[in-house]
Structure 1
Amino acid sequence: MATMTANTGTGDADTATAPTGTGAPHLAERRRELADFVRSRRERLTPEQVGLPPGRRRRTPGLRREEVAQLANVGVSWYTWLEQARDITVSAQVLDAIAGALRLDASERSHLFGLAGAVDPAPRRDSDEVPQSLRALLKQVEPFPASIQNCRYDLLHYNRTFARLFCDLDALPPQDRNCMWLAFTDADWSRALVERRETIELMVANFRNHGTGHFNEPHWRELVDRLLAASPEFGEIWARRNVADKVQEIKLFRQKEVGLLRLRADRMWLQPGGGMRLTVFSPSDDETAAKLERLRHLAG
């Protein structure tokens, strides 16, 4: 089996292997999609756009393969194999160089790494700025507690009843307004969870699942490291490597001012790829509904 090394210019080698068969059909299809996408991005560029002389007698639109290889500092043969949908392995480092050479925008870059099945070392971050329309929505659903979080459980915005459901959220520094952090480190938040152990185990499993492909990102790694340093209990659950994508059917909370609440949780993802999600707690019985009305009154 022949091999070829792509020169990245950094001393790290990326090994590409010439194919001996077609492999699984879905992998072959993804390689073809990757090849067609890269070629289409190459053909839309002109030499002038990337600082190269125009040259003469161009038989194809856009840049030549050797020009892209030069800009990305990879071997011409290796780049040709990429556009031929060969069965090669390419590192995130080389994909990063190709993305730069082809002047890909954030969406195109994400698509490139997705087709290659690689983790982007510098991924696009969804904005954490909550639109005014969603802020108004949270206010309108009161007295139902509601919040907007990202897949790291950062609390991006919440209404008045949610702010008092577990603890006084407004009194906390912004960097601590994270449900994972509070569940393991805040005494008031922990006491509010009637079925605490079941709840936190499911939270960690959901967190690990939603973090697939993100844990090399600094903001994810920082939160995990912070939790590991602060809570041996988190470390013990985290080490199990359980994953899930579900919520408890009925959540039981003990709010210190109104007592036991039986709530149903409905959540809706508001952005692709696990960005913002809306979570609304609705009462599962009349007694809880009355208590939520009282909580709204107390929240002012």
Structure 2
Amino acid sequence: MTRPENGPAQGPLSAASSGPARASRRGEPRTYDFRRPTKLSREHVRVLQIGQEAFARQATTVLTTMLRAGARMELRGIEQHSYDDYVATLPNPSFIATFTLEPLAGKGLLAYPLDIAMAAVDHMLGGSGTSDQPDRPMTVMETTITNHLLNRLLQEWVAAFAHIAHLQPELSEVEYNPQLAQAASGSDTVMVASFAMAVGSRSGEATLVLPFSSFATALNNAASPHLSESAQAKRRRAFEALSERLTQVPVEVGVRFTPLEVSSEDLLSLAVGDVLLLRHPQDAPLEVTTNDVTFAYAIASNHRRRLAAAIVPTPLAAQKDTA
């Protein structure tokens, strides 16, 4: 069974097609397994993409700084797979680091080519990283050096995912055979972020794998934020404080006659002693304004030997204008 490629998909691309015309209109079809329906929505992908792109930028900085060589991490895409299907795509051997996701359940996994991992050790020891790298598991010393790099990368990943969940991951183990890297059960749904990775003259694909079940709630909250009771109470207090302070903000208030229009010629010809006819009816109240907005009406008065304005009801004509 196939469907068009119009969202996050389950499984690899399928070569099946019902004809050239249909393929050109709808794009390449993908295999769809009804036993494992799509769980990763567009909203989830958007939230994950923000975090993974931020991680890729910071990882590029960390790799360049620690290896003292040109390095690059760039997000290619985010997909949903079963863990077994993902493992089947990894070459043997690969450099595979697993880590816990405290306080969430499950494990995460970071995998990239073994020759890049060996070259990174070479760079950190002062080498050029250009020579042929051994195709074998790392020694204890090489693993210790690499763990220092991995811990820095995990710190940057935690910061990049702070808008999704507050995590305290710890490195678990390093494997080289994909079949032995048991980060999840074979049928578990995992979110696979693929990166283009380069260190010096070497390049390859890195993948960061996270269990969907562990992040489902956090992703839903990040995609459609729901404030907790404490957050709602904090927002209410802020609103009350703002409302209280707003009543104390000074504003400029003016009392004016009804504005009149004059031609630019008359305006430029004004001289001392000229008289402007305001055309304001004697029985019409004055406008009380602020920022050119009329909010009340008044009549001229006095208070303690000072000129004042007594607020009066809004005239009927003004009520009709605002209705």
Going by fraction, where is helix more abundant, 1 or 2?
Answer: 1
Q: Which interval holds the TM-score relative to the shorter structure?
A: under 0.3
Q: TM-score, normalised by structure 1?
A: 0.21
Q: TM-score, normalised by structure 2?
A: 0.20
